Structure 1
Amino acid sequence: MLDANIKAQLKAYLEKLQRPIELVASLDDSAKAQEMRGLLVDITALSSKVSLRENGNATLRPSFAIGQPGEAPRITFAGIPMGHEFTSLVLALLQTGGHPPKVDAAVIEQIKALPGSFNFETFISLSCHNCPDVVQALNLMAVLNPNVTSTMIDGGMFQGEVERRKIMAVPTVFQGDAEFGAGRMSIEEIIAKLDTGAAARDAEKINAKEAYDVLVVGGGPAGAAAAIYAARKGIRTGLLAERFGGQVMDTLAIENFISVKATDGPKLAMGLEEHVKDYDVDVMNLQRATQLIPGDLIEIKLENGASVKSKSVILSTGARWREMNVPGEQEYRGKGVAYCPHCDGPLFKGKRVAVIGGGNSGVEAAIDLAGIVGHVTLLEFDGQLRADAVLQKKLHSLPNVTVIVKALSTEVTGNGEKVNGLIYKDRDTDEVKRIDLEGIFVQIGLLPNTDWLKGTVGLSNRGEIEIDAKGQTDVPGVFAAGDCTTVPYKQIIIAMGAGATASLAAFDHLIRTSAPA
């Protein structure tokens, strides 16, 4: 099942086990069960501390659980955790075996203190790069708290469960019979949903903080670079992040980050966070800014009621997926309307889907989906596709793709539970047409996360923060960087450079404004 290189790496990891663990298999006669057995046999052969038992009684088969001998296992994999989920498997083995997790001590104590019992089931696809974060977080909670169980369910393997639960996006987490959450969630976000007093405690701690010299709002590439450059100057630096990594976390392949031939978004985001933590930066994660109040000390108000003050501020709030803004889109979001083809594509195997957008993102999505779904219809508002020629050539070579240009999407239709079609207008003839389908993937660009700044900081007609060559806005002491600004090209490497520029400009501002008259 595992090749020699992976076996060698896994063997080295398993040497870190501090106590015995037991794999409990619940198999059937399927080919997937034999594949799973092969994986489990390979794992047990790599460490004397790992044993295998094949008399499991799980309802979902094939599946296997990981626990300590003599105890009921609390982590289950209903599916073969390869691809993006292989790391989830390795961490589950190590953490069940006593290897300490790389999590703050305060988070560990918060998990151990959670009241009540929680049985989590996470539906994933093996191509989803958002899913492992959720699976790994819930698995760790199951390791640390005996009242928590975590089951990963591969939607591609258990299509019947997907249909029964009416799941059309991953990751989707159930707690018992109720949906707990959908989409990427960090362990801190999950705990915050369970520990209702956490937000109030966070607000109290933040309100007690002294003013910063530089406060960075946003934890993407621009924000990380700004924070590092500020901290290296030896000044008091804070960073507010709604989600560390930002839009990068939703990026799969990154092949144009100079000196790094290939990486992916989650890996890059992890590197950004580790680099920031190497410096004296006060990171305040899971914090959404709601208002900026200019002054000698600039104030940032937060959604949880807290506020933070600083002598200078760097806005690096990034961007989000642009929506179609048509009837039915919000109603069927997560019920057929999706924004990540890599994550949700496998749930539409053999079905009819549409991709909205003819740029590079839209055409790449259509190409990827064509290998999974039954048929793809790509709709572009303009009279021609805007993607690179090499992508267009590949797209037109695919037999199960239809391209429609000059198409204005006007409505998403459904049966009350899920999408069943898309209505669009032919911009040449004004004829209204309908496509019967089960999924719609929206790929029409990004919107800057600047709604909360309207009326305070100068914005362009696209909502981007207007900046000069140094990243200065029209508000003294307020700088900006990255995809939320008027910088002409939205690229990771450009955002990092812009973050560094804004940080250096903020430092220059501090020197000049603190100098005696």
Structure 2
Amino acid sequence: MLDAQIKQQLTEHFKNIKSPVELRVALDSSSKSNELNSLAQDLALLSPHISVAENYDINARRPSLQVRSQQTNTEINFAGVPMGHEFTSLILALLHSGGHDTKLAGDELAVIKEIDKPLNFEVYVSLSCQTCPQVVQALNVLAASNANIIATMIDGALFQQEVEERNIMAVPSVYLNGELFSQGAIGLADILKKLDSNSAQKTKEKLNKKAPFDVLVVGGGPAGASAAVYAARKGLNTGVVAERFGGQVADTMSIENFISVKETEGPKLVAQLEQHVKQYDVDVMDSNRVTNIERNEYLDIELENGAKLQAKSVVISTGARWRNVNVPGEQEYKGRGVAYCPHCDGPLFKGKPVAVIGGGNSGIEAAIDLANIVEHVTVLEFASELKADQVLIDKAKSLPNIVIHTDAQTTEIIGDKNKVNALKYLDRITGEEQLISVSGIFVQIGLVPNSEWLSNSDINLNKFGEIEIDNKGSTNMQGVFAAGDVTTTPFKQIVIAMGSGATASLGAFEYLIREEGASAAA
């Protein structure tokens, strides 16, 4: 099941296991059960602290694997074979169940330890989903830290009946004690906020006590990470406040144009960015949304929870997000057939007809990927020609279950109140309206900058909502710089965002030197 190189690497990692861990497997006669049993046996051979209990009756789901600490009686379950993106989730579950440090902050661990009622988390995932592991791993950390909490990862593609019964059309979908708890990306801090009614107030008080930063980076994507590293290396008191570290890159499947790295994946790059930032004394404040910025004695940065941070200079790097079609039905059926990540949600539509809106590179790539999973893909492009690279267009046209319509204006998304079942589009050549039956719709029509929170500020935005900057990343507000996809930088690429983050950070450093010099002279 595991190759020699991976076994060698895991043997080293498993030296951190300090207490006995039992792998309890529930099997049937399927090939997936054979895979899971083989995986469990391979892992058990790599550490004297790991044992396997076969044919264990965990629950009705088979195949399943339970990671159980014999010392603390904690339980972490995997329904399906946790390979692909979830393999790391399994390895971390083993390490944490075996006593390896979870590296939780002291206040987070205190909140988790205080939970005294049974919490049964179930998270439905796709093994190709890049966002899912962070949710699975956050829930697993909860379960590894408190025996009152159970976490179960469920491969939605393998347990299709459950997916149908619960009408799950987007991953990750988290259920708590049988009720929907969250859908989409959610970090440990946000999970604890939902579990602890006093968490928001505690966070607010903690943030309000922070001293003014020399440089405060707003946003944790590639531009923000780069800005933070450059500022910290200058010896500046640096902070990062972000909703989610990594930003949109965490949802990117394959990255093949990051110079010097032949190929990588979004989640892997995000982990490397976070590791690099944390090598320095950078205060990372995750799961916090910024709502406004004002210039007073310092730059005052207001957060959604009511807290206020202060800084001598700020680098805004809030990135961009997928653009909406803005037609009737889109908002109503988000997560119920309308999706934006084909890698994440594609497996949930196995054997069903879907549509992709958008004929650029992302749209055609999505169609090609989906064609291997679904019954049929209809691509709708508003313009008269596809905007994707020719090599992608040729590949899409070679696949028998992809049909492409240009001059097609999506006008309505239709459903049965529970989920999507059709889409209407206007043929812009004939003027006729067409109706196609689909189970899923994947929107791939470009990006919109995350700059709405600046609408009441004095910072200049262009007509597209992008922050206007000069060649040093400076905005029109004194001491405020910006970088990455939220700015007027013309090309939205990871490597360009990183460069602009460095530029903005160096611009902020230069600004601080001049300000300090001017203050000293005065």
Alpha-carbon distance in 2 for matches of 1:150, 1:99: 18
Distance in 1 (CA, whole Å) between partners of 2:384 and 2:409 is 11
Equivalent positions of 1:196-215 (< 5 A) are 196-215=197-216
- Contact 1:252–1:264 (CA<8 Å) still a contact in 2? yes
CA displacement, residues 49-87 of structure 1 (integer Å, 9 cap, x when unaligned): 222222422211121211134876611111011111111
Distance 1:478 1:143, change over 3 A: same
> What is the correspondence of 1:93-132 to structure 2 with a 5 Å cutoff?
93-132=94-133
Aligned to 1:348: 349
- TM-score computed with the length of structure 2 as normaliser: 0.96
Report deviation, 1:106: 3.1
Q: Secondary structure at the match of 1:254?
A: coil
Deviations 1:202-237 (A, max 9, x none): 111211222222221111111111122222222222
- Provide structure 1 residue ranges, at least 5 long, that are not aligned to the other structure: none
Contact 1:44–1:50, Cα closer than 8 Å, also in 2? yes
Number of the residue aligned with 1:459: 461
Aligned positions of 1:5-20 closer than 5 A: 5-20=5-20
State the distance in 2 between where 1:185 and 1:40 align: 29
Give the 5 Å matches for 1:323-334: 323-334=324-335
Q: Against the structure 1 CA distance between its residues 118 and 236, is the aligned structure 2 distance closer, same or farther, given a 3 Å change threshold?
A: same
Q: In the aligned structure 2, how far is the partner of 1:469 from the partner of 1:46?
A: 54
1:457–1:158 distance in 2 versus 1, CA, 3 Å? same
Deviation at 1:4, TM superposition (A): 2.5
Is the Cα–Cα contact under 8 Å of residues 74 and 147 in structure 2 kept in the other structure?
no
In the alignment, structure 1 residue 335 sits paired with structure 2 residue 336? yes
Amino acid of the structure 1 residue aligned with 2:276: H
Contact 2:119/2:149, CA 8 A, preserved across alignment: yes
Whether contact under 8 Å (1:254, 1:265) holds in the other structure is yes
The residue identity in structure 1 corresponding to 2:34 is Q
Amino acid at match of 2:319: G
> Which 10-residue stretch deviates more, 506-515 or 154-163?
506-515
Deviates further, 426-435 or 67-76: 67-76
Compared CA separation, residues 71 and 53, structure 1 to 2 (3 A): farther
Which 10-residue stretch deviates more, 468-477 or 98-107? Answer: 98-107
The aligned residue for residue 387 of structure 2 is: 386
Match for 1:480 among 479, 482, 505?
A: 482
Task: Please state how far the C-alpha of 1:25 moved relative to its aligned partner.
Answer: 1.6
Q: By how many angstroms is 1:191 displaced?
A: 1.4
Deviations 1:122-149 (A, max 9, x none): 1111111111111111112111101000
Distance across 2 between alignment mates of 1:509 and 1:264: 36
Partner-residue secondary structure (3-state), 1:392: helix
The letter for the 1-side match of 2:322 is W
Give 5+ residue unaligned stretches, structure 2. none
**Distance in 1 separating the partners of 2:35 and 2:252:** 30
Spell out structure 1 runs of 4+ moving beyond 6 A: none
Amino acid at match of 1:85: E
Q: Which amino acid aligns with 1:463?
A: G
2:477 counterpart letter in structure 1? V
Distance of aligned partners of 1:150 and 1:313 in 2 relative to their CA distance in 1, 3 Å threshold? same
Tell me whether 1:37 sits opposite 2:72 in the alignment.
Answer: no
1:493 to 495, 509, 517: 495
CA distance in 2: counterparts of 1:284 and 1:69, whole angstroms: 35
Matched-pair contact (CA < 8 Å) for 1:358–1:380: yes
Structure-2 separation of matches of 1:377 and 1:18: 53
Q: 72-81 vs 393-402, which deviates more?
A: 72-81
Q: Secondary structure at the match of 1:435?
A: strand
Inter-partner Cα distance in structure 1 for 2:390 and 2:302: 46
Range with bigger deviation, 99-108 or 350-359: 99-108
More displaced stretch, 4-13 vs 410-419: 4-13
2:30 maps to a residue whose letter is: S
Q: Kindly tell me: are residues 96 and 70 of structure 1, through their superposed partners in 2, closer, same or farther at Cα, counting changes over 3 Å?
A: closer
Paired residue for 2:178? Answer: 177
1:507: which partner in 2? Answer: 509
Partner SS, residue 150 of structure 1: strand
Deviation at 1:26, TM superposition (A): 1.4
Cα distance in 1 between the residues matched to 2:261 and 2:196: 40
Matching residue of 2:246: 245
Q: Give distance in 2, aligned partners of 1:242 and 1:191.
A: 15
Question: Does the aligned pair in 2 maintain the 1:249–1:265 contact within 8 Å?
Answer: yes
User: Could you tell which deviates more after superposition, 433-442 or 21-30?
Assistant: 21-30
Which stretch of structure 1 is more off in the superposition, 190-199 or 436-445?
A: 190-199
Equivalent-residue separation in structure 1 for 2:15 and 2:279 (angstroms): 28
Judge conservation of contact 1:22–1:66 (CA < 8 Å) in 2.
Answer: yes
Q: Which residue of 2 aligns with 1:410?
A: 411
Instruction: Give the secondary-structure state (helix, strand or coil) at the position aligned to 1:161.
Output: helix
**Structure 2 counterpart of 1:282:** 283
Structure 2 counterpart of 1:507, one-letter code: F
Distance in 2, Cα, partners of 1:406 & 1:41: 55
Q: 1: CA distance between counterparts of 2:92 and 2:285?
A: 26
Matched residue type, 1:191? L
| Identity fraction in percent | 57
Amino acid corresponding to residue 60 of structure 1 in structure 2: R
User: Once the 2 structures are TM-superposed, how far is the Cα of residue 241 of structure 1 from its aligned partner?
Assistant: 1.0
Per-residue deviation at 1:176?
1.3
Q: Contact conserved, 1:359 with 1:387, CA < 8 A, in 2? A: yes
Aligned partners of 2:147, 2:331: CA distance in 1, in Å? Answer: 38
- Measured against aligned partners, the alpha-carbon deviations of 1:275-302 in whole angstroms (never above 9, x if no partner) come to 2222222222211111111234221111
The letter for the 2-side match of 1:143 is A
Conserved 8 A contact 2:74-2:145: no
Question: Quick check: 290-299 or 409-418, which moved more?
Answer: 290-299
Query: What CA distance in whole angstroms lies between the structure 2 residues aligned with 1:16 and 1:510?
Result: 44
Q: Provide, for residues 121-179 of structure 1, a one-character-per-residue CA deviation record: whole Å limited to 9, x for no partner.
A: 11111111111111111112111101000111111111111111110011111001100
C-alpha distance in structure 2 between counterparts of 1:296 and 1:105, whole Å: 33
1:430-458 alpha-carbon deviations (Å, 9 max, x no partner): 21111100000000111100011124211
Q: 5 Å matches for 1:23-34?
A: 23-34=23-34
Matched, 1:432 2:433: yes
Structure 1, residues 81-100: CA drift from partner, whole Å, max 9, x if none? 11111111111111111122
- For these two proteins, the number of residue pairs brought into alignment is 517
Contact residue 299 and residue 310 of structure 2 kept, 8 A: yes
In the alignment, the residues of structure 2 paired with residue 294 and residue 70 of structure 1 have an alpha-carbon distance, to the nearest angstrom, of 54
- Confirm or deny: 8 A CA contact 2:74 2:97 kept in the other structure: no
| Deviation per residue, 1:227-279 (Å, 9 max, x gap) | 22222222222221111111111111111111122211111111212222222
Answer whether contact 1:218 1:246 (CA < 8 A) is retained: yes
Equivalent residue for 2:316? Answer: 315
Verify the 8 A CA contact 2:130 2:253 in the aligned structure 1: yes
CA distance, structure 2, for counterparts of residue 283 and residue 37 of structure 1: 40
Counterparts of 2:490 and 2:72, CA distance in 1? 58
1:508 deviation in Å?
1.7
Does the 8 A contact of 1:65 with 1:73 survive in 2? no
Q: Is the 8 A contact 2:473 2:504 kept in 1?
A: yes
Query: Residue 196 of structure 1: CA displacement?
Result: 1.7
Deviation at 1:107, TM superposition (A): 2.3
Find the residue that maps to 2:486 and give its secondary structure. coil
Q: Deviations over 1:383-436 (max 9, x none)?
A: 010001111110100000000001111111000000001111111122111110
Q: SS where residue 325 of structure 2 aligns?
A: coil
